[in-house]
A and B are shown apart, each in its own frame.
Chain A
Amino acid sequence: MSNKITLQEIKKVADLARLDINDDELSEISIQLAGILEYIDKLNEVDTTDIIPTFHTIDLKNVFRKDVVKESLPLEHVLNNSPQNDGETFIVPRII
């Protein structure tokens, strides 16, 4: 892996993460990220051939339960927190 992260790449990653970044921030962030990634390159010192990655520390198996209908949260309680709604749905800027 290379620790050179280009401005272009940061812009692409920001786009994937749905983050708008202005040009002032971009140069500062690129310096910080380059430093952090350079440090993280330390991981290359370790031979990990045949090592199984850990995504969870406890022995997790699929957890099943009966599919029983239960009461849901009242619609108005859920909508109450939204910046804009019409009492039945969330309102967002027009998509199409």
Chain B
Amino acid sequence: MEIHEYKAHELHSLLKKGEISSVEITKAFLKRIDTIDPTINSFLNITHEAALSQAKEADNRIKNKNAGPLTGVPYALKDVVVTKDITTTCGSKMLYNFKPPYNATVYNHLKKAGMVMLGKTNMDEFAMGSSNENSAFCTCKNPWDIERIPGGSSGGSAAAVAAELAPVSFGSDTGGSIRQPASHCGVIGMKPTYGRVSRYGLIAFASSLDQIGPFAKSIKDIAELLNIISGHDQCDSTSVQIEIPDYTKALNKGIKGIKIGVPHQYFTEGIDPDVEKAIKKTLITAEGLGAEIIDIDLPYTEYSVAVYYIIAPAEASSNLARYDGVKYGYRFKETSQLLDMYKKTRLNGFGSEVKRRILIGTFALSAGYYDAYFKKASQIRTLIINDFKNAFKNVDVIMTPVAPTAAFKFGFAKDPLKMYLSDIFTLPASLAGIPGMSLPCGFDSNNMPIGLQILGSYFNEETILTVANALEKTIKLNYKKPSK
């Protein structure tokens, strides 16, 4: 078995036994990235030097018996998370040269855990997109078929794990940006409950929706990573001050008697028959393991795209007002007028999807339209939340597809609305703030991976992990890999 084939917790066991050093592991991954990534483009910035110095530190900690559960294991970090003195672009020309003066809380947690950052991963600009085609620098490809999208916006983080360029990685999810690329790349991706993980240092897109979460090839790794990144942070007043469980304990439980809700609203509009077949087959597997399948009703599901594409752009239009060419990043210099400088900086610095969303958001918040758009959408958001609250009175988890189809080819969704509609199955959980996971569960007729979405109630990531762990053991899909 080669180094890149191991899961994160397996690498750590090798490290602890002294069979290999973190420096050796890190060098192996860096070499693999240098060789393979030019065809995948999952990284925007490979941090060779920082990685090797973090690996040396990890080796010392292991030697001094001061190691945590994933000390010395490398990871990749979405370029939306700020890292002190390491260029953080958010996939945008606007921040092409931005060297953050501080660290995100999540990055500090990872450093404290002794994990080793290999680099910063590719993404749709400012996390806006479902295909990675909106990256200002280069388009990340799907390792299963490089003519297809890896998904977005955390496409780079998902593709890096799928291509085994990193054993684990991190992304951010605003409307599905972890779950959808995980589904398209055939890896596990998890969005924790809103408020579970600090957003301090996560470059803001839509502040009531954004949440950081992990990608991995095993549920055990996901549990270990959640242990590392979760918890209240004084620097983020929306991170919740409640006890963090040891997520690995959720893996000791079985799923006998667990109630799985299946909403018929997720099996109608435009769903690919291969996707439906794979999900239904997994439901039968879960039933075989002793779970109970219950039909549930989430009647406001169909409004989630319209609600999301008001709320998220509205929040974005406010968050992105800070990019004005004064404090950091790109500035249009060929003018002596301040207002002209702002407007041309934003014209040239932002890509077209970002500008489109700023316009929609500004429009929805502007005088005369606020009630009709922003307030109306926020009211229907309440109804979507009530849907989930009612459902979770009777079930422990909800299972649905992550996306209506497997990864499509580049250029397929040129019309922005068509792209937005492909987010239909991930948006409701984002709007409600509940946790969700994408677990690989099958392949379509083009041999592209299909993800099962497992949703849990607020701060109940554990039940998702329990169910996913039981399914993972049974369906063993993680052993299949893209051929290169």
Task: Report if A and B associate in a common complex.
Answer: yes
Whether A7 is near chain B, meaning CB under 8 Å from some CB there, is no
Whether A86 is near chain B, meaning CB under 8 Å from some CB there, is no
Contact of A18 among B342, B352, B458 (CB under 8 A): B342
B379 cross-chain contacts in A, Cβ below 8 A: 46, 48, 51-54
Alpha-carbon gap, A36 to B360, bound state (A):
9
Contact of A58 among B240, B324, B344, B417 (CB under 8 A): B240
A80 cross-chain contacts in B, Cβ below 8 A: 99, 101
Select from chain A the residue with minimum beta-carbon distance to B328: A81
- Segment of B14-22, B43-51, B247-255, B365-373 in the binding face: B365-373
B341 cross-chain contacts in A, Cβ below 8 A: 92-93
Contact of B383 among A22, A32, A51 (CB under 8 A): A51
A78 cross-chain contacts in B, Cβ below 8 A: 101, 327
Chain A interface mostly: loop
Can you list 5 residue pairs at the A/B interface with Cβ under 8 Å? A17-B321, A17-B359, A17-B362, A36-B420, A81-B99
Binding site for B on A (CB under 8 A): 1, 5, 9-10, 13-14, 16-22, 25, 29, 32-33, 35-37, 39-40, 42-46, 48, 51-58, 60, 63, 65, 73-74, 77-78, 80-84, 90, 92-95
Contact A13–B356 (Cβ < 8 Å): no
Whether B331 is near chain A, meaning CB under 8 Å from some CB there, is yes
Select from chain B the residue with minimum beta-carbon distance to A56: B208
Alpha-carbon gap, A33 to B420, bound state (A):
13
Nearest chain A CB to B67's CB is how many angstroms away?
Answer: 31
A16 cross-chain contacts in B, Cβ below 8 A: 362, 366
B445 cross-chain contacts in A, Cβ below 8 A: none
Contact B382–A36 (Cβ < 8 Å): no
B4 cross-chain contacts in A, Cβ below 8 A: none
Given contacts A17-B359, A43-B380, contact A55 B347 (CB under 8 A): no
Contact B359–A13 (Cβ < 8 Å): yes
Alpha-carbon gap, A93 to B326, bound state (A):
10
Select from chain A the residue with minimum beta-carbon distance to B333: A83
Alpha-carbon gap, A36 to B385, bound state (A):
24
Contact of A40 among B101, B366, B373, B375 (CB under 8 A): B373
Select from chain A the residue with minimum beta-carbon distance to B324: A18
Alpha-carbon gap, A90 to B276, bound state (A):
56
